[in-house]
Amino acid sequence: MSLEYSCILPHGFNLIPDLNPEQDEKSAKLALAISSIAEQIVNKDPEVIIIASPHNLRISENIGIVTTEWLKGSYKEKDTEKSAEMEWKCDRKHASKLYIRAKNEGIPVVAVNFGASEGPLSNIPLDWGTFIPLYFIKKAYEKSKKTVPQVVLITPSRDIDWKYLVKLGELIYLLSIEENKKTVFIASADQAHAHDEKGPYGFDPAAKSFDDLICKMITSNSLNDLLGIEQGLIEHSKPDSLWQILILSGIAAKANLVNKSCVYECPTYYGMIAASFERKI
C-alpha cells in the first residue's frame, strides 16, 4: 500500500450545494466534479488524507506541518447565510514522521500545534481552503457509510525555493511506502485571481494565460514544468495554487501518477480546477 491517488480541488465560495441551492451553471459543474472525485477517494479507501491549503497558517520562510489532534471549524456563505460545522481527527503520528523526514532532508519546515498539547483543545481552526474540499469528502463518506480517515494538514510557504515543495511531495510518497500506508494527497488550490476588473485584484490578461498553462500542464502530465513558470506571470495573475501543486508534482513524478480528469471553470474573479491523478498501469 502507498500513495496511488491525488487530486487538485478548488475551495471557491458558492461551491457547496447544501449551502447554495441556486448555484450558477459553472459552480454547479465544478461541484459535480468535486463530488465525483470525493467518491473516488472513498473508493480508494485511504488510511490518511494529506491536504495542503494556502489559507491556514502563513509561516514566513517555512512550510508548516500541523500536528494538532483535531481540525475543527465552521463555514458560512455570505450570500445565503447558510452555514455548516465540521471536525476531523488528525493523524499526528504520520504528521510528525513527515516533519522529521523533511527536516532531516534540509527542507525548511516547522511542526505546528495549537491550543493544548493534546486532547480536544489541541485543535487548529479549519480555514476555507481546508473546509470546502473536506466537506465534499465527508459527505461522500457519509453516503458510503464508511469511517472517515484521519488527515494531515500542510501549509506551504511562498517564501522558499520551489524545489523544496517538490521535494516534500517526493517525501510524502516515500513515507507512504515506508509506513505501508494508503494515502491520498489533495492540493487545495484556486487559480488566477485577476479575471475580473470588479474583483479585489482587478483584471490582468495574465490570469487567462496562467490558467490555460496550468490546465495544459495537468492534461499533458507535465507538472514538472511548473518549476519553469516565470515569476512575473505569478505576480500578475495572482494564483493561490502554485505552491500546493508543486507538492503534487513531486508526488506525481515519484508515484507515476497521470491525469484522469480535469474540469476548469471561472464563475467569478478566480479560476478553479477539479482534477484527479491515478497511478499509471
* CATH number assigned to the domain comprising residue 96: 3.40.830.10
- The domain in which residue 257 lies consists of 3-279
Beta bridge partners of 110: 64
The whole-number pLDDT of residue 105 equals 97
The residue behind cell 457547496 is 16
Given a cut of 50, the residues of the chain with pLDDT beneath it are none
The whole-number pLDDT of residue 79 equals 79
Residues 6+ apart with CB under 8 A from 44: 4, 5, 182, 184
Residue 244: other Cβ atoms inside 10 A: 27
Strand ranges inside the chain, DSSP E: 3-9, 48-52, 63-66, 70-76, 83-89, 109-112, 123-125, 150-155, 183-188, 257-265, 272-279
Residues 6+ apart with CB under 8 A from 14: 20, 23, 24, 27, 77, 79, 267, 268
CB 257 within 8 A of CB 245: no
pLDDT digits 0-9 by tens, 25-36: 999 999 999 999
The whole-number pLDDT of residue 106 equals 98
The whole-number pLDDT of residue 281 equals 75
CB 274 within 8 A of CB 266: no
- Element at 173 (helix H, strand E): helix 162-178
pLDDT digits 0-9 by tens, 3-54: 999 999 999 988 999 998 889 999 999 999 999 999 999 999 999 999 999 9
The whole-number pLDDT of residue 263 equals 99
Beta bridge partners of 102: none
Length in residues, the chain:
281
CB 65 within 8 A of CB 164: no
Residue 229: other Cβ atoms inside 10 A: 18
Count of domains observed in the chain: 1
